[in-house]
């Protein structure tokens, strides 16, 4: 899921860095004082999620939690994703430093789509939570596959899509569990204003 340096052309990575930094600072200003602890907690969860990895189909998969971040933070999930990715690149070497913008755009858009799905009226809560968790992984995976295809990198795009579909199902189920748990214990956390 994390793109390394040197895979996509430098101008594309540079443009993505500018876009990600701009969007993160713009959306970061919308975080209210009361929302800061929740954003910090979610950013920590996103940061640590990539350490939980499992062997799957000859490769290794890990959680992203972008869908859950979208559900709990709304649009301000984007800066949380940015912070988590910066620290992952610096401390775990997950993804390239110059590719942080690309990774933030891919995964941040996953969180934003999840936030949109979560707010879609007329659907049962569990269905919205599952779809949000699913999209939170599938959107970045599709974007990444598309970017790889554009630059002719790798021959395993379909394999990637298959692997990430499995992760998306797992994340969908995880998001439903989290929403059900929070609805029972702390429903105020499910109300986002951003």
Partner 1 sequence: MKDLLVRYTLLAAALAVSAGSLAAHGLEIEVRRHAPAVILKASYSGAEPAAFAAVKIYAPGAPPAVFQSGNADAAGRFAFVPDSEGEWRAVVDDELGHREERRIAVGREFIEAGAVHAGEPAPGGLPLWLRAAVGVAVIFGAAGFFYGLKARRRAGP
Q: From residue 35 to residue 64, what is the string marking binding to partner 1 with x (rule CB under 8 A)?
A: -xx-xx--xx--xx--x-------------
Of 7 and 87, the one with the shorter C-beta distance to partner 1 is 87
Can you tell me the distance from the alpha carbon of 85 to that of 17, in angstroms, rounded to the nearest whole number? 12
User: Residue 26 CB, nearest distance to partner 1 (Å)?
Assistant: 16
d(CA 165, CA 137): 8
- CB 79, CB 39: distance < 8 Å: yes
C-beta neighbour count of 96 within 10 angstroms: 18
Q: Is 88 in the site for partner 1 (CB under 8 A)?
A: yes
User: What is the x/- site pattern for partner 1, positions 124-153, by CB under 8 A?
Assistant: ------------------------------
d(CA 100, CA 7): 13
Question: Is the Cβ of residue 24 or residue 138 nearer to partner 1 in the bound state?
Answer: 24
First to last CA, the chain: 26
Is residue 4 near partner 1 by the rule CB under 8 A? no
Q: Is residue 91 at the binding interface for partner 1, with CB under 8 A as the rule?
A: yes
Strands 53-56 and 59-62, sheet pairing = antiparallel
Contacting residues toward partner 1, per CB under 8 A: 31-33, 36-37, 39-40, 43-44, 47-48, 51, 83-84, 87-88, 91-92
């Amino acid at each position: 899921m994390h793109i390394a340096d040197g895979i996509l052309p430098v101008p594309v990575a540079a443009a993505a860095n500018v876009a990600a930094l701009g969007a993160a600072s713009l959306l970061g200003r919308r975080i209210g004082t009361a929302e800061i602890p929740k954003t910090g907690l979610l950013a920590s969860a996103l940061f640590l999620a990539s350490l939980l990895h499992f062997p799957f189909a000859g490769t290794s998969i890990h959680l992203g939690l972008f869908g859950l971040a979208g559900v709990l933070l709304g649009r301000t999930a984007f800066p949380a994703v940015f912070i988590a990715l910066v620290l992952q690149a610096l401390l775990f070497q997950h993804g390239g430093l110059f590719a942080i913008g690309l990774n933030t755009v891919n995964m941040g858009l996953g969180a934003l789509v999840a936030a949109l799905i979560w707010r879609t009226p007329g659907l049962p809560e569990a269905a919205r939570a599952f779809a949000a968790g699913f999209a939170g992984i599938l959107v970045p995976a599709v974007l990444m596959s598309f970017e790889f295809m554009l630059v002719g990198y790798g021959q395993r795009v379909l394999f990637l899509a298959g692997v990430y579909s499995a992760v998306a199902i797992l994340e969908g189920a995880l998001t439903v569990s989290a929403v059900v748990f929070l609805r029972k214990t702390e429903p105020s956390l499910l109300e986002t204003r951003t």
